[in-house]
Amino acid sequence: MTAPTLPLSGVRVIDFTQVMLGPCATQVLGDFGADVIKIERPGAGDLSRNFFGLSDEKSMNNVVYASLNRNKRSVELDSKTPEGKQALLDLCRTADVVVDNFRAGVMDRLGFGYEALSKLNPRIICASGTGFGPVGPYAHKGGQDVLAQAMTGVMEKTSDPSVPRSIYPTTLCDYTAGMHLVQGIMAALLMREKTGRGQKVGVSLYDSILAMQMQEAAQWNAHREVLNWAAMPLTGYFDATDGGLVIVGAFKENPLRDICKALELEDLSPQYPDLASQRANKPFLQKTFRDRIATKTRGYWLERLEAEDLLCAPVRSLGEALEDPQTRINGMLLEMDLPHYGKVTQMATPVHLSEVTPVLRHLPPRLGQHTAEILAELAQARESQPA
C-alpha cells in the first residue's frame, strides 16, 4: 500500500516528543500516513535511545526506542543556535501539527508555542501532553506515569485490603494520555476543515487517568462510596495446581449459583442471595473458591467455568500472550529488520479500519538519519516561494 492511500497522507507533523506519551501518539499518526519529522537533540536524541542501554552506538537504536518510533524521520537540530531555531521555524511554517510533551511553558520559552507559531501559520495545530495541565498548582511539576498513578487514586486501590499498594508495572498513564492526544489532534484536524484555522490541543497524564475512572468518580461524587471493580466479592485470582486463573462473577442472574455449580460445590446462593450479603462474607466465599480450585488443574476448571458461561481466563505472561494465535490473527505483530538486531517483532497498531491497512513506510530512524534530506526539502521550499 502506498502512502497516498492512507488517511493522514499529506499531513505533516513536527514531533518534539520523547520517551512514551508523545512518541506513542505520533507513531499512530505516522502509521496512518502522516509525515512525522522527529526533532532530536544533536548527539543525544530522544531519552529512550539511551535509557535502556545501547547495542548499536552508530544508530543509537534499541528495541524499546524502536517500539515507539516507526514511520518517522529523524532530524538533529539545536533550537539554541540561530540556524537551528530558524530551521525549526521553517519546518513549523510547513507543518499541520506540532506535538510536544514538555513541561507546561517550555515550548513558549523556546519560541515554538502556539501564539508564536500561529502567526507564522494560522492553520497550525499545537498539541501538548503534560503531566498535570498548563496551569494550576502542579503545572510545572515534572510529569511521569508513576506520579499520575499515585496522585489520581489508581494506586490507592487494591483488590484486597491485605495486598500492599504497588506501582502498576505497565505505563498505563502514558499510553492512555498518548491515545487521548491522538484523539485531540484528529478532532482539531477535522475542525480545521470547517474553519480553516488551527488551535491548541492539550492532554495530561493527570486528566487521562482521572477520566479513566469515570464510573468510580460518579459513584464517589453521588454517594461517597468507593467503587472498586477488582474487589467485588465473586471476582478474584485463584491458583490451580498448574497455574492461575481469574473469575469475574458478574453480569449474570445468579453468578454465585453458577460458580458453585462449575466448582462442584453446594449452591451457596440461598445463604448469600444479594451483593450486600456476598460483600459481608467475601473472605469466606473467596476462601471456598480458592480451596476448591487448588485441587485440580487450570484447564479443568476453565472448561467447567466456560460451560456455565462465566467470565474467566487463564493468567498468562506477556510471552504467552504474544505467542497466542489470537494475537497474530488480530494483526498485532509487526516484523521489521532493525539495524544491528536483525529481525525483530514489535506491537502493531490496535486500530483496524476495513479499507486501510497501516504499513511500515520508515524503519525507526537512526539519530539524525534524515537531517540532510529534510534540510534540502526546506531549501527547495524556500526557492519555490514567490519573491
Task: Report in angstroms the alpha-carbon separations of 58 from 71, 196, 345, 366, 372.
Answer: 20, 43, 21, 8, 17
Neighbour tally for 352: CB within 10 Å: 12
Q: How far apart are CA 300 and CA 263, in angstroms?
A: 10
Q: Residue 229: CA atoms inside 13 Å, Cβ hemisphere, count?
A: 10
What pLDDT is attached to residue 1? 37
Answer whether residue 188 shows pLDDT above 90.
yes
pLDDT tens-digit map of 121-178:
999 999 999 999 999 999 999 999 999 999 999 999 998 888 889 999 999 999 999 9
pLDDT tens-digit map of 211-227:
999 999 999 999 999 99
Please say whether the beta carbons of 149 and 173 come within 8 A: yes
What pLDDT is attached to residue 341? 83
Answer whether residue 70 shows pLDDT above 90.
yes
User: Would you give the DSSP letter of residue 196?
Assistant: S
| Mean of the per-residue pLDDT values of the chain | 94
pLDDT tens-digit map of 32-48:
999 999 999 999 999 99
Whole-prediction pTM: 0.94
Dig out the grid coordinates for 307 from the structure. 460451560
Task: Pick the closest to residue 260 from 251, 244, 277, 272 (CA basis).
Answer: 272
96 is catalytic: no
Q: How far apart are CA 68 and CA 291, in angstroms?
A: 44
Task: Report in angstroms the alpha-carbon separations of 68 from 22, 26, 175, 336.
Answer: 9, 9, 11, 13
Dig out the grid coordinates for 192 from the structure. 480545521
Task: Report in angstroms the alpha-carbon separations of 153 from 207, 210, 236.
Answer: 12, 8, 21
pLDDT tens-digit map of 268-303:
999 999 999 999 999 999 999 999 999 999 999 999
Any idea which of 6-10, 160-164, 184-188 has the lowest mean pLDDT? 160-164
Q: How far apart are CA 26 and CA 48, in angstroms?
A: 15
Dig out the grid coordinates for 29 from the structure. 499518526
Please say whether the beta carbons of 71 and 42 come within 8 A: no
What pLDDT is attached to residue 2? 42
Any idea which of 4-13, 53-62, 67-76, 85-94 has the lowest mean pLDDT? 53-62
Among the listed residues 15, 96, 174, 258, the single catalytic one is 174
What pLDDT is attached to residue 162? 84
What pLDDT is attached to residue 54? 56
One-letter amino acid identity for 188?
A: A
Percent of the chain with pLDDT over 90: 88
Dig out the grid coordinates for 246 from the structure. 481469574
* 382 — pLDDT class (breaks 50, 70, 90): confident
State mean pLDDT over 310-321. Answer: 98
Cβ neighbours for 169, distance < 8 A, ≥ 6 positions apart:
none
Cβ neighbours for 310, distance < 8 A, ≥ 6 positions apart:
247, 248, 249, 252, 255, 258, 259, 262
State mean pLDDT over 48-73. Answer: 81
Answer whether residue 57 shows pLDDT above 70.
no
What pLDDT is attached to residue 59? 61
Across the strands, what pairs with 72?
A: 36
Write down all domains in the chain, each with its CATH number in brackets: 12-215+345-384 (3.40.50.10540), 235-319 (3.30.1540.10)
